[in-house]
Chains A and B, each alone.
Chain A
Amino acid sequence: MSSQSNRLTKGGHINRANPLTFSFDNKIYQGFEGDTLASALLANGVRLMGRSFKYHRARGVLTAGSEEPNALVELRQGARREPNTRATMIELFDGLAATSQNRFPSLSFDFMSVNQLFGRFLVAGFYYKTFMWPSSFWESFYEKIIRRSAGLGRAAVESDPDQYDHSHGHCDVLVVGAGPAGLAAALSAGRSGARVILVEENPWLGGALNLQNDRIDDMPATQWIEAVSKELNALENVRVMSRTVLFGYYDGNVMGALERVNDHVAPPYSDQPRQRLWTIRAKEIVIAAGAHERPIVFDNNDKPGVMLSSAVRTYVDRFGVAPGKTVAIITNNDDAYLTAFQLHAAGIEVPVIADARVNPGDLVEKARELGIRVETDCLPHEAQGYLGVTNLLLQRSDGSLIEKIACDCIAVSGGYSPNVHLVSQSGVRPVWDEKILGFIPDTPIRAERSAGACKGTYDLAGCLGEGHEAGLAAAKAAGIAVAKSAVAPQAGPQPQSSIVAVWRSPGKGKAFVDFQNDVTAADIDLAHREGMVSIEHSKRYTTLGMATDQGKTSNVNGLALLARARGEDIPTVGTTRYRPPYSPVAIGAFAGHERGVHFQPTRLTAMHRAHERLGAVFVEVGQWLRPRYYPINDKETMTQAIWREADMVRKTVGMCDVSTLGKIEVFGPDAAEFLNRLYINGFAKLPVGKARYGLMLREDGHVFDDGTTSRLAEDHYFMTTTTANAAGVLSHMDYCAQVVWPELDVAFCSATEQWCGVAVAGPRARDVLTAAFDGAIDMSNEVLAFMGVKEFTWNGATARIFRISFSGELAFEVNVPWGYGEAMWESIYAAGKDFDLIPYGTEALGVLRIEKGHVAGNELDGRTTAQDMGLGRMMSSKKPYIGLPLSQREGMADEMRPRLVGLKPVDTKNRLRGGAHLVDDKNNATHETSLGWVTSVGDSPAIGSWIGLAYLKDGPNRHGERIFAVYPLKDEVVEVEICDPVFFDAKGERLHG
């Protein structure tokens, strides 16, 4: 086990009493509670943490926060392996295992780093240039090579064992970021009584506050943070969400946030989710997202050990870690001096502060008083070292070299970029502020306001004041009465920092702008020379800012370099639009609990348990589970079971659960007129106690749905729809009633689940039902003729019996309330024992209806007309109805459209396939020669062969002819005879039996 060689003896907000053991690339290390993986690795003297995307250059950690572009690792192992996690955001836990990525065979010796030698071929746009020819090589060869050599980590191949959850939050004021500005905003809004949600991506509050040196309200920062945290947690109207990153700003002040509920502990998490995806609806938003420090672009500025100055400070201040033993500082502003002072106070050697400014100001004197050397008008020339920094070469702005400084860490500050991601997502274009050399938010266009560093205010007192005011303003805008006397937290004054632009320190080597996507200063110049003068083109051509870090550290440097190449100023070049997500979000978090069988809810009928007891094999029909068939034993195949079930219905009797049909009760004085306008056939004159088959069209004239609708009273109809279309029909009716014909007095509601239904079909159907219902209802032809409806009482329940038939047999459908369904099923099943009754599933139901030429979902596919189905004669000429005008269009009324026919294989041993195409010449089967297609097929016991329904051009006039059904996917050609779609009992004698 390695010792923590770079851990400072004191300081840091870590718990030294709780040492944690972890591994990186299978080597065991120790850190402390409160560490991140990055701080713990640095504490152990590990600088090399990754390899770059394209050139496989050695990389170390650049930042201490979520903007990290370099230190991406694979976290955890096996099914929980997660690639591209930022070492700076991983909280250390005991047993944590992380692995470096994008290297072979090891991190310190990476074979693919030869890419650096070919660097001149891998410049901006190299995909477009190098791999152009021959084009056939792209998929087979080039893409594979690129995928292997360029890239990030490996995703787990097993299914993710963890749970993910969703949640919805609502508030008056959402505060984004718990730095000094955010805390002040949450305090002022919270104290006003507003419902506040404070979101902070780190596990701690305080943001960039310096724990050792900052003071607020005459307290050390740590003490102030603790007091604020305590007060906020005590306020019932405030919710503090740490470990939560706000990743998206959407319309209507809807925000997306990801809460890392359990990423900081070792799995498993029992019943808790690993992460929770939040949708937060906020009346007002205070954005206090802080600012990101920028690197300076100089040669080899990506060597492990080159870090942002603020990150160096954070590692010392928060984690008690020395990022190096000798830390050279490069800056163009005052901020890095604070880093120098903190390093000095921690006893770490600072050989030089290289300041690009000619007259930096007062801090120079303070540094020199501490014995720190300060060079002004001084720029970095090059970082040197193999797998980490060993030297820094300095130069004057005119390019003359000064000297070589030995160091193992370089702290760089190129100034700060206000974090304008969220305001940019809200639609506001950030504007350039020359004073701070950064983009700041323009006037808000949504209910949001920025405060603190994300608005370009960098001094502590200013951040606290702005946060306080923003919190009050937001609460007030949300309609909360705000106390005027509230006072902002106080901090001492700080001198205004000056800054000088250093977009590219002179040099000819590789100077990186975007570390994660390996974009150099030269790439931007090259893209410009090749015509990519717009920032949007430059971005896409070079891929600058397009990596998972969203260019947080690189965007401003990149567009400044483009501006320089164009010879224009930065505001003229402008900035690209930022898009969600601000920070990467795992797909699992978006999926939440909706995965596997729970991807959608499952709908069960009242008789589901009875089907289970009978050993039914189920099939998903929309959201419903329906019995597909009932195998009598383990040996019976699906094909055999379907054939047997269909056969038995015709020979004796079968029963089938038809509860899933959509059922709609329609009431009202205008119910008859309403249905008359919905259906193509008449319903106004349907007598009470009778059912009728009806067909509906869409407005465009195509068939929408069909079903049997009965009249129970003058002003009360009972409609049925297909299983799949039930909700669609109900919403169509709602639209018609509310928008199209508001004058009609009609009301309707779903009754699909109030009633469950069993169809009993076959020559013995009447006998079975008479026995099952103990003669409670007379089902004779005289009392209940075909298409008749009767109501009766069964065991105290209202039951309805419909004399309708889908199978063409003597058949009844009986409906009872849901709770009686299972009992009814059992009663009929028991009564059926004496009549050889079998239960049948959807497959046998399909065979029976194909034998009768009845259309179903396969034929009602949204492209077909009533004429296509042979139902043109149902179209009433006496009334208008939905779809009538457009069904008269030339193309819709064309006699040569494919129309419904039956098909039989000429050789009865052959099977048919749904989806096969019909052609006259089997040797010329193409898209152009196709005459139609097969919609439904079944192995028919009644006919003794496979049969099918099909749409065929001029089909009704070709009965008796022979053509070919081709199925190229299985290389099948079957000769078929065209026939009438009604294969069985064409006269319909059986259903009147």
Chain B
Amino acid sequence: MAEFNIVTPLSHLGLVAGKGTSSAGVLLADRPGLAIAQVFAKKGKTAAVAKKLGISAEPCVATSHENYTALPLSPGQWMLFATTGADGSFQRLLEKQIGKNGYVSEQSHSRAAIRISGAKVLDVLSKECRLDLHSSVADVGFCAQTTMSGVGVLMHKIDDSPTFDLVVFAGFADSFWHWITQASAEYGVELSRD
């Protein structure tokens, strides 16, 4: 058997952890290895699932739980993220938690997550994001699904500095990374991985 090696969508770039001292206008970080699961409530069970998981059923607002973050996708649907459990254990854990109220699809490998921060974040995002990301509209916890540079993006505002997480399908990760690094170049950009 060949040498065994689990890859992530952007691992071939050979990025290393950032120093956190960069003066670049934009910081981009690949966040590999997150556990991701899509949760569906059965008909009439949205509130029950939300309660079992301790998350909100409100649209466009993330719930950050001790062990995971939930981003609502549509009525009765969430995408949940955790730092451990990408081997499927996170999906199984959630399945157990919600019981017969719904279903959980394992998605840990399906996406790439990119964290963007720095003084010029909004200048970069507004190049392709049609949504208004001003803090008066998009508060911390804001999340939305949109299209940027032709790629579907699930975005989540992490903090007010501001920092955003951008989640894209794994197949588009290279293409999206190319766009966002190019778009950031005029402001000075530091690339790293978590």
Show the binding face of A for B, using Cβ within 8 Å: 165-170, 195, 270-273, 279, 281, 593-594, 598, 600-606, 609, 623-624, 665, 667-669, 715-716, 745, 747, 749-755, 772, 774, 795-798, 817-823, 826-827, 829-831
Residues of B within 8 A of A821 (CB): 7
Q: How far is the CA of A756 from the CA of B107 in the complex (A)?
A: 12
Decide: B1 and A774 in contact? CB cutoff 8 A.
yes
Interface assignment of B72: CB less than 8 Å from any CB of chain A:
no
Residues of B within 8 A of A605 (CB): 171
Residues of B within 8 A of A609 (CB): 7, 12
Interface assignment of B175: CB less than 8 Å from any CB of chain A:
yes
Given known A745-B42, A798-B88, contact A167–B127 (CB-CB < 8 A): yes
Q: Can you report 17 residue pairs joining A to B where beta carbons are below 8 Å apart?
A: A165-B183, A167-B127, A168-B129, A281-B132, A593-B183, A601-B149, A604-B171, A604-B175, A665-B105, A669-B42, A745-B43, A749-B105, A751-B105, A753-B110, A753-B171, A754-B107, A831-B1
Interface assignment of B21: CB less than 8 Å from any CB of chain A:
no
Interface mask (B71-108 → A, CB under 8 Å = 1, otherwise 0): 00000110000000011100000000000001101111
Distance (whole angstroms) from the CB of A174 to the closest CB of chain B: 13
Decide: B109 and A166 in contact? CB cutoff 8 A.
no
Decide: B77 and A195 in contact? CB cutoff 8 A.
no
- B75's closest neighbor in chain A, by CB? A738
Residues of B within 8 A of A624 (CB): 171
- Across the interface, A747 reaches (CB within 8 A) one of B2, B87, B103, namely B103
Interface assignment of B67: CB less than 8 Å from any CB of chain A:
no
Residues of A within 8 A of B1 (CB): 772, 774, 827, 830-831
Residues of B within 8 A of A827 (CB): 1-2, 4
Q: How far is the CA of A167 from the CA of B129 in the complex (A)?
A: 8
Distance (whole angstroms) from the CB of B59 to the closest CB of chain A: 16
Decide: B2 and A754 in contact? CB cutoff 8 A.
no
Known: A606-B170, A665-B105. 20 other contacts (CB 8 A): A167-B126, A272-B186, A279-B130, A593-B183, A598-B178, A601-B172, A603-B171, A624-B171, A668-B40, A745-B43, A747-B76, A749-B107, A751-B110, A753-B109, A753-B110, A754-B105, A796-B87, A823-B6, A826-B3, A830-B1
Range for the number of chain B residues in contact with chain A: 35 or more
- Across the interface, B134 reaches (CB within 8 A) one of A170, A270, A604, namely A170
**A to B contact number (C-beta, < 8 Å):** 142
Residues of A within 8 A of B40 (CB): 667-668, 747, 749
- A826's closest neighbor in chain B, by CB? B2
Q: How far is the CA of A165 from the CA of B149 in the complex (A)?
A: 11
- Across the interface, A195 reaches (CB within 8 A) one of B110, B134, B149, namely B134
Interface residues of B in 115-156 (CB under 8 A from A): 123, 126-130, 132, 134, 136-137, 149-151
Distance (whole angstroms) from the CB of B157 to the closest CB of chain A: 15
Decide: B150 and A601 in contact? CB cutoff 8 A.
yes
- A774's closest neighbor in chain B, by CB? B1
Decide: B109 and A823 in contact? CB cutoff 8 A.
no
Q: How far is the CA of A749 from the CA of B37 in the complex (A)?
A: 11
Q: How far is the CA of A605 from the CA of B43 in the complex (A)?
A: 35
Distance (whole angstroms) from the CB of B31 to the closest CB of chain A: 14
Interface residues of B in 148-190 (CB under 8 A from A): 149-151, 169-172, 174-176, 178-179, 182-183, 185-186
- Across the interface, A169 reaches (CB within 8 A) one of B126, B178, B179, namely B126
Show the binding face of B for A, using Cβ within 8 Å: 1-9, 12, 38, 40, 42-43, 76-77, 86-88, 102-103, 105-111, 123, 126-130, 132, 134, 136-137, 149-151, 169-172, 174-176, 178-179, 182-183, 185-186
Residues of B within 8 A of A749 (CB): 38, 40, 105, 107
The 6 closest A-B pairs by CB, nearest first: A818-B109, A747-B40, A826-B2, A754-B110, A667-B103, A601-B175
Residues of B within 8 A of A272 (CB): 186
Distance (whole angstroms) from the CB of A833 to the closest CB of chain B: 11
- A163's closest neighbor in chain B, by CB? B182
Decide: A822 and B183 in contact? CB cutoff 8 A.
no
Residues of B within 8 A of A170 (CB): 132, 134, 137
Residues of A within 8 A of B179 (CB): 593, 598, 601
Decide: A819 and B8 in contact? CB cutoff 8 A.
yes
Q: How far is the CA of A711 from the CA of B170 in the complex (A)?
A: 25
Decide: B186 and A753 in contact? CB cutoff 8 A.
no
**Central interface residue in A600, A817, A826, A830, by most chain B CB within 10 Å:** A817
Q: How far is the CA of A22 from the CA of B150 in the complex (A)?
A: 41
Q: How far is the CA of A44 from the CA of B113 in the complex (A)?
A: 59
Distance (whole angstroms) from the CB of B145 to the closest CB of chain A: 12
Decide: A820 and B175 in contact? CB cutoff 8 A.
no
Distance (whole angstroms) from the CB of A17 to the closest CB of chain B: 29
Residues of B within 8 A of A270 (CB): 186
Q: How far is the CA of A674 from the CA of B106 in the complex (A)?
A: 22
Residues of B within 8 A of A747 (CB): 40, 42, 76-77, 102-103
Distance (whole angstroms) from the CB of A258 to the closest CB of chain B: 15
**Central interface residue in A166, A169, A272, A749, by most chain B CB within 10 Å:** A749
Q: How far is the CA of A700 from the CA of B107 in the complex (A)?
A: 35
Residues of B within 8 A of A795 (CB): 4
- Across the interface, A754 reaches (CB within 8 A) one of B8, B109, B134, B182, namely B109
Decide: B127 and A751 in contact? CB cutoff 8 A.
no
Decide: A754 and B106 in contact? CB cutoff 8 A.
yes
Q: How far is the CA of A603 from the CA of B150 in the complex (A)?
A: 11
Q: How far is the CA of A712 from the CA of B108 in the complex (A)?
A: 19
- B1's closest neighbor in chain A, by CB? A827
Distance (whole angstroms) from the CB of B171 to the closest CB of chain A: 4
**Central interface residue in B2, B40, B76, by most chain A CB within 10 Å:** B2
- Across the interface, A271 reaches (CB within 8 A) one of B43, B134, B136, B186, namely B186
Given known A668-B42, A798-B88, A830-B1, contact A822–B7 (CB-CB < 8 A): yes
Q: How far is the CA of A219 from the CA of B169 in the complex (A)?
A: 59
Q: How far is the CA of A831 from the CA of B4 in the complex (A)?
A: 14
Q: How far is the CA of A279 from the CA of B128 in the complex (A)?
A: 10
Distance (whole angstroms) from the CB of B162 to the closest CB of chain A: 15
Residues of B within 8 A of A830 (CB): 1-2
Given known A753-B171, A822-B7, contact A601–B186 (CB-CB < 8 A): no
Q: How far is the CA of A665 from the CA of B110 in the complex (A)?
A: 13
Decide: A168 and B130 in contact? CB cutoff 8 A.
yes
Decide: A823 and B2 in contact? CB cutoff 8 A.
yes
Residues of A within 8 A of B169 (CB): 603, 750, 752-753
- Across the interface, A817 reaches (CB within 8 A) one of B109, B150, B186, namely B109
Distance (whole angstroms) from the CB of B27 to the closest CB of chain A: 16
Distance (whole angstroms) from the CB of A163 to the closest CB of chain B: 8
Residues of B within 8 A of A606 (CB): 7, 170
Decide: B87 and A822 in contact? CB cutoff 8 A.
no
Decide: B42 and A818 in contact? CB cutoff 8 A.
no
Given known A165-B127, A168-B129, A604-B174, contact A716–B7 (CB-CB < 8 A): no
Q: How far is the CA of A593 from the CA of B178 in the complex (A)?
A: 11
Residues of A within 8 A of B87 (CB): 796-797
Q: How far is the CA of A826 from the CA of B28 in the complex (A)?
A: 31
**Central interface residue in A270, A279, A753, by most chain B CB within 10 Å:** A753
**Central interface residue in A271, A819, A823, by most chain B CB within 10 Å:** A819
**Central interface residue in A168, A606, A795, A821, by most chain B CB within 10 Å:** A168
**Central interface residue in B76, B103, B174, by most chain A CB within 10 Å:** B103
Q: How far is the CA of A831 from the CA of B2 in the complex (A)?
A: 9
Residues of B within 8 A of A669 (CB): 42
Decide: B150 and A594 in contact? CB cutoff 8 A.
yes
- Across the interface, B6 reaches (CB within 8 A) one of A166, A279, A820, namely A820
Decide: B130 and A829 in contact? CB cutoff 8 A.
no
- B130's closest neighbor in chain A, by CB? A168
- Across the interface, A166 reaches (CB within 8 A) one of B43, B107, B127, namely B127
Distance (whole angstroms) from the CB of B188 to the closest CB of chain A: 9
Q: How far is the CA of A830 from the CA of B111 in the complex (A)?
A: 28
